[in-house]
Structure 1
Amino acid sequence: MTLNQKRTITMKLTGKLAVVTGASSGIGAATAAALAAAGAEVILVARTPGPLTKTAELIRSRGGQAHDFPADLTSYSEVKDLADQVLGDIGVPDIIVNNAGAGRFLFLDETDPEDAVQMMAAPYFAAFFVSRAFVAPMIARGSGNILQINTPAATVPWPGAVGYASARYAVRGFTESLRQDLRGTGIRVSSVTPAKVDTPYFDRNPGAEDRIPRIEKLLGTMTPEKVADVVVSALRRDADDVHAPWRWAALHPIARAIPRPFHWLAWHTGTKHPRTVAGAA
């Protein structure tokens, strides 16, 4: 679904309870703030307590309802403790935004096995664990929305990011499989996939920006706040999968249907492995 396609607004966010992961900065923090501004009560979750608490305090200072719960989402025991506390003290979420993620842009032979495991742990297992911890009471109630934040690498991988792209493919697979799993239960499963977003990720990972294929620049760069607006709109419209900005929304269905030219462009305009054979295609 593109941003220009219209759907009747069916979900009012006022009074809804929303869990947002990776909410200490970037897309997660902006999404939590946007949901709170729309009237939702938000549960902010991230590993680092300090920035998480500051984000929650900022939302409350603007009149929003926000709770901060530090947790390592790659540990199911911590996620289960988090869910037990939320369900016991606050209630059953109406919305889950699985945004927590990590990863470095590395070639396979640059990637330590431990780094590969961590890149799969967040975002994929973090999304799986959080959804698993809350899904039973959501099913019992018969309503809700589980939304994943993903990246274009889940559709068009680029060289020099094998662990990162593989984890994002896993998130895409989880989204589509979970949608089938929960069909008929009243729970919608959705995703928002923005192109490049100007977040602290690039400050924390020097050199990562240089490995993004040049062709990606044609899609445009979004701010976390713009992505948050897309998330809020997608939730309100009960959209399934939303891609932004408009250039990526227009190209995505073509990239899914005819992937080979897009994969070639990503390779041709991306970082080459030092051992790439001249003339390879």
Structure 2
Amino acid sequence: MELDRKLALVTGASSGIGEATALALAEKGAHVILVARTPEPLDSVVASIRRAGGRADAIPADVGSIHDVRAMASQVLERWGVPDVIVNNAGAGRFLFIDETDPEEAVAMMTVPYFAAFYVTRAFIEGMLERGSGTILQINTPAATIPWPGSVGYASSRYALRGFTDALRQDLRGTGIRVSSLTPAKVSSPYFDRHPGAEDRIPAIEKLLGTMTPDQVARVVIRTLEKGRRDVHTPWRWAAVEPFARAFPAPISWLTWRTGTRHPAAMAASRRWMSKSKGTSPNEVDAS
């Protein structure tokens, strides 16, 4: 794909990967539509793009709300037309065990990213189908392949996004519309500032895959779009592990659990087992 003069829409574009992707697309000559909930950060990114001579506009919208998405899409279609590229990047959620997760929060985590990607794609898909071209790119996380303990709602929503990507690709096969995904390993983003303690729940084995900056991820986004790639995993260590994790999920699942955060109930059960095997009390096991 040649990105110059293309219309690209990026969700979650006010910070992190979304902001970096919007900047990178504008540098390639695309007209970028930035979407996120908060107007001020969006306006700041748009101003940066325009100062550099690029084209960008911002539309504040909660992509987890079908009402907001419909209103946003109506504005885009009326002012600029059908996007050539949609980057479904908006994501949310905390790393929690199931007994720490309120049902309402589980619904919110499923809404963004999964339903948000569905809503945005659905809002523009008829125009793309009529035109017979376009690219839809989902930004996902390794939790969609290897869930770790203490992330049940988060990982489930990412599995849903992965399923949507695969099913959407089947739906659109032969229509001229490309469906892609990009899954980076850990990214140094404002997410960890907004969720203290989240980083501690990432398994040690996952940390070995490397940490990327939003700018590095954005460069991979550009390459994925330009080269028409299907499903991309980055950096290279994660790209090497991912096929093995899909082919042999059991050992990878065990390693993720072994190097991850244990549920307090599992820790207590382990202490009880050790106390029985040693003939001591659980408190003595703790002291040792």
TM-score, length basis structure 2: 0.93
Q: What is the Cα deviation at residue 256 of structure 1?
A: 0.7
Q: CA deviation at 1:162?
A: 0.3
Residue 264 of structure 1 aligns to a residue whose secondary structure is helix
Q: Residue 231 of structure 1 corresponds to which residue in structure 2?
A: 221
Name the CA distance, whole Å, in 1 between partners of 2:125 and 2:247.
Answer: 32
Residue 51 of structure 1 aligns with which residue?
41
Give the aligned residue type for 2:270.
A
Amino acid at match of 1:190: S
Aligned residue for 1:216?
206
**DSSP 3-state at the match of 2:187:** coil
**Does 1:149 pair with 2:139?**
yes
Per the alignment, residue 89 of structure 1 pairs with: 79
> Which of 240, 243, 246 is equivalent to 1:253?
243
Aligned partner of 2:9 in structure 1 is 19
- Quick check: which one's helix share is greater? 2
Structure 2: which 5+ residue stretches go unaligned? 274-288
The amino acid that maps onto 1:268 is R
Name the residue aligned to 2:280: none
Q: Are residue 61 (structure 1) and residue 51 (structure 2) matched?
A: yes
CA distance in 2, matches of 1:227, 1:146: 17
Is the counterpart of residue 42 in structure 1 residue 42 in structure 2? Answer: no
Q: CA RMSD in A?
A: 0.9
Which of the residues 61, 71, 79 maps onto 2:61? 71
Provide, for residues 50-77 of structure 1, a one-character-per-residue CA deviation record: whole Å limited to 9, x for no partner. Answer: 1111111111111110000000111111
Q: CA deviation at 1:121?
A: 0.6
**Which residue is 2:282 aligned to?**
none
Structure-2 residue corresponding to 1:8: none
Residue aligning to 2:91 = 101
Q: Tell me what 2:270 maps to.
A: 278
Give the deviation of 1:213 after TM superposition.
0.2
Distance (whole Å) between structure 1 residues aligned to residue 34 and residue 213 of structure 2 = 20
Question: How far did 1:178 drift?
Answer: 0.1
- Aligned-pair identity (%): 68
**Residue of structure 1 in register with 2:279 after alignment:** none
Secondary structure at 1:275 match in 2: helix
Q: Which residue of 2 aligns with 1:137?
A: 127
Give a deviation string over 1:178-204, Cα, whole Å, max 9, x none: 000000110000000000000000000
The residue aligned with 1:189 is 179
Greater RCO between the two (CA within 8 Å, min separation 6)?
1
State the one-letter code of the partner of 1:265: L
Q: Report the Cα distance in structure 2 between the residues aligned to 1:80 and 1:217, rounded to whole angstroms.
A: 39
How far residue 217 of structure 1 moved from its aligned partner, in angstroms, is: 1.4
Point out where structure 1 has 5 or more consecutive residues left out of the alignment: 1-10
Return the alpha-carbon distance in structure 2 between the equivalents of residues 142 and 260 of structure 1.
41
Aligned equivalents of 1:109 and 1:101: distance in 2?
A: 22
Structure 1 runs, 4 residues or longer, greater than 3 Å off = none
Give 1:6's aligned residue: none
Q: What SS does the aligned partner of 2:261 have?
A: coil
In structure 1, how many angstroms separate the alpha carbons of the residues matched to 2:175 and 2:66? 24
Larger gyration radius, structure 1 or structure 2: 2
3-state SS of paired residue (2:211): coil
Partners of 2:138 and 2:165 in 1: how far apart?
A: 7
- TM-score between the two structures when normalised by the length of structure 1: 0.95
Using the alignment, how far apart are the partners of 1:178 and 1:271 within structure 2?
34
Q: CA deviation at 1:218?
A: 1.0
**Which one-letter code corresponds to 1:194 in the other structure?**
P
The count of corresponding residues between Structure 1 and Structure 2 is 270
Q: CA separation in 2, counterparts of 1:139 and 1:81?
A: 20
Distance 1:67 1:79 in 2: 16
Residue 110 of structure 1: how far off its partner (Å):
0.2
**CA distance in structure 1 between the partners assigned to 2:140 and 2:46 by the alignment:** 23
